[in-house]
Structure 1
Amino acid sequence: MSIDWDRRHCARKGHITYAPDEAALRGKLHAATAVGTVWRCLRCGDFVLGEPHGSGPADQAPLVPRGQALRDLLILRFLAVERVLRGLLIVLAAWAVWRFSNSQDAVHRLFEDDLTVFKPVADHFNYDLDHSPVVDSIQKVFDYKKSTLQLAAGGLLIYALVEIIEGFGLWWAKRWAEYLTVVATAAFLPIEVYELTEKISWFKIGTLALNVLAVLYILLGKRLFGLRGGHAAFEAQRRGASLLEVEVSAGQVPEAEAEQRAKEPLPVRRRSPADADTV
């Protein structure tokens, strides 16, 4: 069973109606019923009881995400949530590195003391702590200069801010955020590939696959950098998806077909207070 995302979105966010100044279009988007005037929702196409939310020239009608555009928006918001959560985790990592840089000597002494305590236990299980890869990696961190660790913390913080900014921009479907996401994500792909050559894990594979798909989807789907006609083609596609533009084209159909459509019963829905909300 297919899901009607347009009606589902209207059920949660409310309908969006518009009264164009052009008389021919205005007549197609509204009708009089026994219970009052109804206007056609620009997203789902249902007729809604009540006054329109806006009015003006047809070319200034709100661009309401519907159909493929609405599905694209849901995907962008999924990526936005993922970016914000990742950014917050990186902020915590930056804070941990900064705190460690300020108490490096104390942590080093604590580590050496605890290592001495656990040494008899490790010997009992025939585990050589003196040549453990994990212990060696931790001890190397203690050799880093404080300035190096603080620089790393600063780099992590900048990276986290970029991820969070990406997330908020993608949530609101800003084109600059799409460019930023493609450039920033593509820049880190070689590092992720290199990490896989060092050690393979399902988490790393999943992260790399998600980032590659995100870059390809945004790059091609949003026609960035002039691909597939660029920004002009993308805007034309958005305009073509608007129900108001569909009604403009419908004026060119044969008169008999237009009359037949006018005779069809109109579904009427009473407008609730939530209908004033937009996307």
Structure 2
Amino acid sequence: MFKRDWNRRTCAKRGHLTYAPTEPDLRARLHAATALGDAWRCLRCGDFALGAPHGSGPAADAPLVPRGKALRDLFVLRFLAVERALRGVLGILIAWAVWRFANSQDAVHQLFDQNLTVFHPVADHFHWDLEHSSVVDTIRKTFDYKRSTLGFVALGVLLYSLIELVEGVGLWLNQRWAEYLAVIATAAFLPLEGLELTHHVSPIKLVTIAVNIAAVLWILLSKRLFGLRGGHAAFEAQRHSASLLEVEHSAGTDSTQLAKA
């Protein structure tokens, strides 16, 4: 079965990332002398890349480069970030439309009633009671809302959309606070989405609530939020254990201990 190599895939797009540690043993394991010049191991994919290293210093100061599962998780997070950002932009547009509607409610009402008559012949042909259809009734109910009520609706949609945008930016930057925000904000609206299903079930609503539940569970467990699976300490330990420098350092230490034995 084909297995995607996230490390090489990312290096192919962004280029290699090399580092020269000052520790002699570790430095030797990451360096190779070739006929074309010095080569250093990439901290992400592990391949040797010709040229000077991108950085140097103590191994403890080296950048912590996501590799393997951590890199795949970052890809999933950024997919969620884009989805949240698109939601935020769409929400802002809806809030603006509601606000505009609230400020020209009477004019829109008159325009709606005038244009509705155009569809009467088509509706009569298909024996459809257009005047009492659910869609038309719903639209007409909105004309009865107070301007202040529509203003509060627009404000609520705007605030929710801004939260989605902030969440999207934070997830894209791989910030832990954004993961907490994503879980709390998404979980808070799950009961409302479930309540909507009791009134009307549609494939889009089912897919949406399934995606949101899966996203909450995945972020909770994979990022070890709220102390789950060892919490933040275990999450950081896992990240460092996947670092190429940590792997090479452990391998070098193990080899030294075997030689002494």
State TM-score, norm by structure 1: 0.88
Aligned residue type for 2:47: D
- Unmatched segments (≥5 aa) in structure 2: none
Deviates more, 1:203-212 or 1:132-141: 132-141
Residues 1:144 and 2:128 are matched in the alignment: no
Aligned residue type for 1:164: L
Per-residue deviation at 1:109?
A: 1.3
Relative distance call for 1:150 and 1:23 in structure 2 (3 A) is same
Per-residue deviation at 1:257?
A: 9.0
Instruction: Name the structure 2 match of 1:44.
Output: 45
- Say what the alpha-carbon RMSD is for the aligned residues: 1.7
Residues 1:201 and 2:202 are matched in the alignment: yes
Aligned residue type for 2:209: L
Residues 1:131 and 2:111 are matched in the alignment: no
CA distance in 1, matches of 2:122, 2:212: 43
Instruction: Name the structure 1 match of 2:175.
Output: 174
Percent of aligned positions with the same letter in both sequences?
A: 68
CA distance in 1, matches of 2:58, 2:257: 27
Per-residue deviation at 1:128?
A: 2.1
Instruction: Name the structure 1 match of 2:222.
Output: 221
Per-residue deviation at 1:3?
A: 2.0
Per-residue deviation at 1:256?
A: 11
SS in 2 for 1:42: coil
Relative distance call for 1:130 and 1:7 in structure 2 (3 A) is closer
Instruction: Name the structure 2 match of 1:10.
Output: 11
Aligned length: 258
Aligned residue type for 2:90: L
Aligned residue type for 2:165: I
Aligned residue type for 1:240: S
SS in 1 for 2:254: coil
Per-residue deviation at 1:38?
A: 1.1
State TM-score, norm by structure 2: 0.94
CA distance in 2, matches of 1:29, 1:13: 20
Relative distance call for 1:216 and 1:118 in structure 2 (3 A) is same
SS in 2 for 1:252: helix
1:74-95 deviation digits (Å, cap 9, x = unpaired): 1011111111111111111111
Per-residue deviation at 1:5?
A: 1.5
Q: Flag the structure with more relative contact order, 1 or 2, with Cα contacts below 8 A and sequence separation at least 6.
A: 1
Residues 1:32 and 2:33 are matched in the alignment: yes
Aligned residue type for 2:146: K
Aligned residue type for 1:91: I
Kindly report which structure 2 residues correspond to 1:67-86, keeping only aligned pairs within 5 A, or say none. 67-86=68-87
- Unmatched segments (≥5 aa) in structure 1: 259-279
Instruction: Name the structure 2 match of 1:244.
Output: 245
Aligned residue type for 1:182: V
Per-residue deviation at 1:45?
A: 0.7
Relative distance call for 1:49 and 1:125 in structure 2 (3 A) is closer
Deviates more, 1:233-242 or 1:51-60: 51-60
Instruction: Name the structure 1 match of 2:22.
Output: 21
